[in-house]
Amino acid sequence: MASEENNSTLHGPHASPRIQKRAPYETLLHPEAVAIVGAAREEGKVGNVILRNLVSNGYRGKIYPVNPKATGEILGIRAYPSLASIPEPVDLAVIVLPASVIIDSVRECVKKKVKFAIVISGGFSEIGEEGKELEHKLLEVIENSGTRIIGPNTVGVYFPAAKLSTALNLPERSSFPPLGTIAFISQSGALGLQTLDTISEYGTGISAFVNLGNRIDLSEEELIRYFADDPGTSSIVLYLESFHDGNKFFEAARAVSKTKPIVVLKGGRTESGAKAAFLHTGSLSTNAEVVKGVFDQVGVVQAYDETELMDYGKALAYQKPLAGGRIAIVTTAGGLGVITSDYIASEEHGVGLLLAKLSDSTKKKIRDIIVPIGSPENPIDLTSEGSTENYRQVLKILNEDDAVDGIVVYALFDTAKVDESLIDVLEEQMRVGKPMVVGTIGSSKYKKSMLAEAEKRKIPAYPSTVRAVNALKALYSRGMYLQRRGLLRAE
């Protein structure tokens, strides 16, 4: 396993002067006491909104508002004039002060032995040389201390298990996902929050969200190691516009991807995108071909847009990887079978996998079960006469055919003989059988409840043929990587 103390020659622009020691993952994900430095009584102020969110979301630990001018209580919670005056230990400090006084505040964090200081404030390297200078000073302050910095210039974190969010989302405008098993690291705050909002529509959950911001200290290469340790995380997805330290990231990814899948959406893969990334986060891009090559080498699955990123993270969190590329399709709508076959088989507009060639014995068994006008050939078409029980029987047969590596099954609710218990059938067959992804097309009146129920049972379900097949391809890519490294467990 690659060592974090490895002194790489390839430092990123913000690499720390010394390597900080990584704390146990619990300290980050389950802080027992949080201080809001800059907590405010005035509504609308950042220090007020964050405190209010923390309280109203039901954060499970202790909350300490800190404000030198505040006496008594803020929002009914006893306030302290300084971190030092808090009688108990503080795990996490959320700092919302102006950039000019951040140095002193972080110095206080070090004295108080705060483990993580989340610096929400902007006004650092993103505004120019002066800000960059401030960042260097911040790093000097935490050097050789037990205090780590997240940010600055970050929306912070969202840890659903702890019910802790430092994000300033307007609750009447956006939503947070429930607790799940996908850890999400984003260099961009807005994109991160928008993506969280998007996946919450159908109840896809996450184990953690961290916005890196200017990432002067805590960075993606360390975070993926935290999440590797976290038993609540099954897959790790990242939105990055650059690497904090390319070599270290790839080392960490190689180590972590042995046990947990990693998906990266790397912004700035074209010249135009790289220019945009530079304007957005000051990121200097790495050659896209190099990135792709290294991702393949270290087992990172690459996503190309925000939908793929979370779709892949979900499939990889909920399902086993594929041991091969031979796919069976089950549908009650023949047209979906056709579109899906094309998309599976096509290299140009598709994923370039194979339609499984079912054995004669499998086909005969299926023929005996489904209606005469149905097709026992792959794609298996149960037709509009197909029943929930047909799904169960056919999936069972496919799960027993060695010529099948993975299954795309369409859960369609527009026909009379399919009912809501189909979700039970899918769960049952998924648990015992081969990797499976589910597509739900149309069925507007069932779709939302079907997709939400699928989430609860950790069934990867998608409202489009292409999204379902792409997710299966992610499971295939992961399987092939593990196979190359001799890590794919036999069923």
Site for a copy of itself in 426-485 (CB under 8 A): 441-447, 463-466
The interface with a copy of itself within residues 19-38 (CB under 8 A) comprises none
Strand partners of residue 438: 409, 461
String of contacts with a copy of itself for each residue 97-116, x by CB under 8 A? --------------------
Nearest CA to 134 among 164, 98, 163? Answer: 98
Residue 364 in the binding site for a copy of itself (CB under 8 A): no
Q: Which residue lies nearer to a copy of itself by CB, 63 or 322? A: 322
The interface with a copy of itself within residues 342-361 (CB under 8 A) comprises 342-346, 349-350, 354-355
How far apart are alpha carbons 325 and 236 in whole angstroms?
23
The values of phi and psi at residue 84, to 5°, are -60, -30
Q: Which of 117, 252, 277, 422 binds a copy of itself (CB under 8 A)?
A: 277
Residue 377 in the binding site for a copy of itself (CB under 8 A): yes
398 near 359, Cβ under 8 Å?
A: no
How far apart are alpha carbons 429 and 489 in whole angstroms?
19
How far apart are alpha carbons 458 and 234 in whole angstroms?
11
Q: Which of 19, 23, 179, 338 binds a copy of itself (CB under 8 A)?
A: 338
Residue 307 in the binding site for a copy of itself (CB under 8 A): yes
String of contacts with a copy of itself for each residue 182-221, x by CB under 8 A? ----xxx-xxxxxxxxx-xx--------------------
Residue 294 in the binding site for a copy of itself (CB under 8 A): no
H or E stretch covering 456: helix 444-456
Q: Which of 8, 145, 384, 449 binds a copy of itself (CB under 8 A)?
A: 384
Q: Which residue lies nearer to a copy of itself by CB, 28 or 339? A: 339
C-alpha distances in angstroms, 33 versus 80, 444, 449?
14, 44, 37
Residue 276 in the binding site for a copy of itself (CB under 8 A): yes
- Cis peptide bond upstream of 98, omega within 30: no
CB 306 → a copy of itself: shortest distance, Å?
6
Q: Which residue lies nearer to a copy of itself by CB, 105 or 307? A: 307
- Using DSSP's 3-state secondary structure scheme, residue 407 falls into strand
Residue 287 in the binding site for a copy of itself (CB under 8 A): no
How far apart are alpha carbons 261 and 250 in whole angstroms?
13
CB 189 → a copy of itself: shortest distance, Å?
8
How far apart are alpha carbons 183 and 313 in whole angstroms?
9
16 near 138, Cβ under 8 Å?
A: no
The interface with a copy of itself within residues 119-178 (CB under 8 A) comprises 122, 126-127, 169-170, 172-175
Q: Which of 45, 62, 163, 280 binds a copy of itself (CB under 8 A)?
A: 280
CB 182 → a copy of itself: shortest distance, Å?
16
CB 132 → a copy of itself: shortest distance, Å?
15
The interface with a copy of itself within residues 396-415 (CB under 8 A) comprises 412-415
Stretch that binds a copy of itself, among 15-23, 87-95, 298-306, 482-490 (CB under 8 A): 298-306
Residue 424 in the binding site for a copy of itself (CB under 8 A): no
CB 289 → a copy of itself: shortest distance, Å?
10
- Using DSSP's 3-state secondary structure scheme, residue 338 falls into helix
Contacts 24+ apart (CB under 8 A), 39-48: 39/65, 39/66, 39/67, 39/70, 39/74, 39/79, 39/96, 40/67, 40/74, 41/70, 41/74, 41/75, 46/96, 46/120, 46/168, 47/96, 48/74, 48/75
How far apart are alpha carbons 393 and 365 in whole angstroms?
9
